Amino acid sequence: MSPSTIPFRVIVVGSGVSGLIMAHALQHAGIDYIVLEAHREVVHSAGSSFGLWPSAARILDQLGCWQDIKNVSTPITHHCVRRPNGSVLVHSKIFTDISANFGYEALVVERPTLLRILYEHISDKSRIQTARAVDHISETTDGLEVSLKDGTTERGDIVVGCDGVHSTVRKCMWDIAKKAAPTSFAVLDGNGLSSSFHCLVGVSPSIQGIRCSESNSVQRQGFSIQVTSQPESTFFFTCIKPDASIDQPDRKKFTPEALEEQAAKLTGITVTETVFFGDIWKQRHRGYMCLLEEGLQERWHHGRCVLVGDSAHKMSPVLALGGTCAIESAAALVNYLYEGICLHPERKPHGETLIKILETYQAAREPRVTAIYQTVSKLTRIQTTDGHLKRFISRFVLPFTGLEARTAIALTRGAVKIEFLPVPERRRGITGFDDDNMMPQVIGSKDFLRASRAFSGLVTKYISLRGFILMTQVKRRFGVLDKSAVV
């Protein structure tokens, strides 16, 4: 069989959420594929919760998985921002507004449960191969060869790195790139990541004093706590600002002693009027601490290698949009592969054609991902109230203006879907997605721009007010201003 008659084959590395979404989409597209997973099992206990926004829900609905996910989760209906004493500062409508606008609820599900449902819906499970860790990747005359640590090899036309923040595919891709053009890719010596926060995450049973389907936000100087409840589970994660940030973070593992020491510092923090963080921690099923890596890679592809999800765009878990972005990116990549392969079955894409497909994928996704990445990065720093301005925004701007909800809605509108699959009938939302009305996808819609301008206006007014107060205090002190003139 000549190379031109061999079916186009995709090698997906990693069977996490983005890897399994790739598998589903490729399966529906009729494109040959294999998924290589380093773990011995697809479904394992690593990770805590996984947030699913309407943009992810629509794709999962197209793939036939959404109803099973809904069956194991209840929609978040209450979001409470808490005062230091645990009382409610404000009831936010962010989740109910999201549902009303798009017709899909925002759900939180345990990550192993989501993996199980996605895996169960794969029709040919022989394509998902475990205990097959990648060692290195080599270019061939007409494709790529993936050498595995078990001594075997796999050949394909492209390799898709769905293998997470410390991606082996990304490292191999950079090695290939630097060999091809050493001076052009000298900047790729690191991993493109930084870490300004530690993250303490875990799962506990349902806790008395926390309502089912409730999300609670605690924001203090130097840390924030998010607690979300389901009928039988309570998910928690904390963002903790250490003394110094880390550039190019590696897979740092915290000792059990360090874990307990950090948790002890949060034990007395109130999550509700009657529940302390210590109550949640001591009943945990599991909990661990890790570095919170952030990084938006400059290049998502080189040659026949391409990155999807955290390997390309790792962001803070605040707002739980990182997982949704990974699902969208997987869908977008398969859209372009489908257009380049399945719509032209008489020819197999090679060379420049394939590179163009990957370039189009990054060019289409990068503006939207960047907007979301920057939004959650800023919000993470606001929620940990790092400085007077961020404390003011956290306490008095976001809770009372609805800006957080409006921004989330604006960011959701421009989401992608799987273009070659129908969207099941559903209740239409008030706003809907941009492509519901056959509108072109708009990155940074007018709603988002208006929300951004409103946010900037509030910050500007606050800075002006602070400046006026400071100037008044200075003039008073030095007798420049008649005190009676100040109201």
Q: What are the backbone angles phi and psi of residue 486, rounded to the nearest 5°?
A: -100, 120
Distance CA 239, CA 318 (A): 9
Both structure tokens of 3:
């190379």
Is pLDDT at 470 greater than 80 in this prediction?
A: no
Amino acid, res. 354: L
Output the CA–CA distances (angstroms, integers) from residue 425 to 114, 253, 367, 486, in the order listed.
23, 46, 29, 62
Please state, rounded to an integer, the average pLDDT across all residues of the chain. 86
**Rounded to an integer, what distance in angstroms lies between the CA atom of residue 396 and that of residue 392?**
6
Give the pLDDT confidence score for residue 451 in this predicted structure: 47
Question: Mean pLDDT across the stretch 110-114?
Answer: 95
Mean pLDDT of 279-291: 94
Residues 336-391 pLDDT 10s: 999 998 777 666 888 888 999 999 999 999 999 999 999 999 989 988 887 777 77
Q: Flag the least confident range among 59-68, 355-364, 402-411, 446-455.
A: 446-455
Encode pLDDT of 24-80 as tens digits.
999 999 999 999 999 999 998 777 899 999 999 999 999 999 999 999 999 998 899
